């Protein structure tokens, strides 16, 4: 319920928002997007929180409804494949159990594969970091480059070629 209220506050235009206020920048330039009658109608109407929340969740609800319909149809088809000697409720329950078992097996296999790949990548990264310790700069906080270091290095190079 709290998420519906938050979503309502984010998605709805308040009837007395600065865009619709009589002293707004749009009104002062006389470039109003809405006519005066539409503005009055918006001020009179109450915001519809239910429709906004429903519209924000409609894609998720449609997906859930589609999955539910496909599952029911699949169970019905599976039930029709069972011989008539088996009672229909028992056939539906057994087909549902088999379908859930297969779905959970596929989900488990997918998650197992994903976690194995992630663990392998993490192990490879750990080994890479462990084997390449020597490439880091030696010393602690004292080894930060100062302005004297490049000058000293340049002097050494110049003395080398004298």
| Statement: residue 7 has pLDDT above 50 | no
| Statement: residue 66 has pLDDT above 70 | yes
Q: What pLDDT, on the 0 to 100 scale, is given for residue 33?
A: 53
Q: What pLDDT, on the 0 to 100 scale, is given for residue 20?
A: 47
Using CB atoms within 10 A of its CB, is residue 20 exposed (0-12), middle (13-18) or buried (19+)?
Answer: buried
Distance CA 103, CA 101 (A): 5
Structure tokens given for 50: 């239910």
- pLDDT above 90: percentage of residues in the chain: 43
Distance CA 35, CA 61 (A): 36
- Does pTM top 0.75 for this prediction? no
Among 77, 122, 121, which residue's Cα sits nearest to residue 99? 77
If pLDDT is split at 50, 70 and 90, which confidence band does 153 have? confident
101-150: pLDDT as tens digits: 999 999 999 999 999 999 999 999 999 999 988 766 565 555 555 566 88
> Is the separation of the CB atoms in 95 and 78 below 8 Å?
yes
Structure tokens given for 139: 């010393």
Average pLDDT of span 65-93: 93
- pLDDT above 70: percentage of residues in the chain: 56
What's the chain's average pLDDT?
75
Q: pLDDT higher for 154 or 3?
A: 154
């Amino acid at each position: 319920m709290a998420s519906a209220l938050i979503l309502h506050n984010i998605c709805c235009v308040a009837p007395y928002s600065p865009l619709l206020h009589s002293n707004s920048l749009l009104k002062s330039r006389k470039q109003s997007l809405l006519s005066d009658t539409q503005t009055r109608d918006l001020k009179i109407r109450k915001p519809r929180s239910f429709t906004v929340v429903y519209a924000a969740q409609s894609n998720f609800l449609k997906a859930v409804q589609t999955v539910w319909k496909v599952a029911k149809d699949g169970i019905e088809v599976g039930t029709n494949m069972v011989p008539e000697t088996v009672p229909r409720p028992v056939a539906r329950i057994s087909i549902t159990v088999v379908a859930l078992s297969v779905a959970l097996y596929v989900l488990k296999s997918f998650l197992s594969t994903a976690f194995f790949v992630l663990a392998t990548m993490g192990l490879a990264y750990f080994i890479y970091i462990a084997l390449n310790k020597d490439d880091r700069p030696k010393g602690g906080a004292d080894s930060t480059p100062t302005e004297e270091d490049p000058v000293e290095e340049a002097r050494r190079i110049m003395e080398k070629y004298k």
